[in-house]
Amino acid sequence: MRILIVNPNTTASMTRTIEAAAQNAASARTQIVALNPDTGPQSIQGRDDGEAALPGLYELFECVVMNTGGYDAMIIACFDDTGLAELRSRSPIPVIGIGEAAYHRAADTAAPFSVVTTLSVSVPILTENIAASDLAGQCSGVRASGVPVLDIEARGSQALASIAAEIASAIRSDGCRSIVLGCAGMADLARTLEENFSLPVIEGVGAAVSYCESHAATGQPEFMQVQP
């Protein structure tokens, strides 16, 4: 199986983090190719950044999926599921968002789940996406850690500590049984946080890869279908 993963922002170092997380989750027979557009925002934090990322995302989709081909599935590696509905409706191959994949994995693994994301500007769109996935009843909260996306991988950043503090608050206050990390750039933190808190910590990149692989032969899961 060959999976294309598109990071809709232009930060190549984040794309490499996403690619590593995808490869760690993939089976030996799956090939991962991770790309990002040349134009657009450096990070996606809220609705305005998501809108600004769409031209570059769509251009990359047209070039690589529609004109070049050779992929069995595509993953959009932005937790806002930027451009997902539009690309899914046009694509000849399954397209999955890491946000929806993470929510469904958490609901299947240990519900209710809480989401810990970056800034508060991202909370409304994630809340809307959870509701659109019919999983609002299994989500106990969407929380902002106060960590900007680009700070997650910055040298000397206190991002991990801030994210961990928000997870601790969610466990205390939300009654959650699992945590969803609400940013693609957090993908490589999941294992450490899971060990620290002794409950499932789910990141969307690995969840999306697993869903692509598990449904390659049997058909798409319901949440990957184009809605009428």
Residue 225 in this model has a pLDDT that exceeds 60: no
Structure tokens of 74?
């595509």
Task: List domains and CATH numbers for the chain.
Answer: 2-97+207-223 (3.40.50.12500), 99-203 (3.40.50.12500)
**What are 33's strand-pairing partners?**
4
Mean model confidence pLDDT for the chain: 93
- List Cβ neighbours of 66 (8 Å cut-off, separation of 6 or more): 90, 92
Report pLDDT digits (tens) over 70-98.
999 999 999 999 999 999 999 999 999 99
Cite the DSSP H helix spans in the chain: 12-25, 47-61, 84-90, 98-109, 123-132, 159-174, 190-197, 204-214
- pLDDT tier at 157 (50, 70, 90 boundaries)? confident
